[in-house]
Structure 1
């Protein structure tokens, strides 16, 4: 993803979740997605659909995180 897309996504996550610690970071070897963090904790991946320009956020929740 381009740096301007990452900035817009980061602003969206901060605003939507009311959390200034949210970060969106470029992935080292992928250009169709970025990583989403709260502080240093990894939350998930946001993917861009090149056909329609929409974004999809995917977050895995581990069983151990629910205890």
Structure 2
């Protein structure tokens, strides 16, 4: 996994806020090298962001976690 630069974090956050319609979404760089970049809404972490570079092409994969206990009752 490649590291995500501060510039990429800012650009990715701006793009995700626009695409997902959520101004409260943040992309948080890891506090220490080797940890995951976190995706949060209203300071609640909802997933991770991973950067992939293959043959000069860069892409970002987002893994969003939703716990069953956070779902509304059936």
User: TM-score with structure 2 length normalisation?
Assistant: 0.78
Could you tell me which runs of 5 or more consecutive residues in structure 2 were left unpaired when the two chains were aligned: none
Change (3 A) 1:12 1:32: farther
RMSD: 1.7
Ranges of 4+ aligned residues in structure 1 off by more than 3 Å:
30-33
Change (3 A) 1:14 1:23: same
- Cα distance in structure 2, aligned partners of 1:34 and 1:42: 10
What is the CA distance between 1:25 and its match in structure 2?
0.7
Task: Check if 1:61 corresponds to 2:66.
Answer: yes
Q: Deviations over 1:7-59 (max 9, x none)?
A: 11100111011111111110123458411111211111010012231110001
Could you tell me which runs of 5 or more consecutive residues in structure 1 were left unpaired when the two chains were aligned: none
User: TM-score with structure 1 length normalisation?
Assistant: 0.85
Aligned length: 67
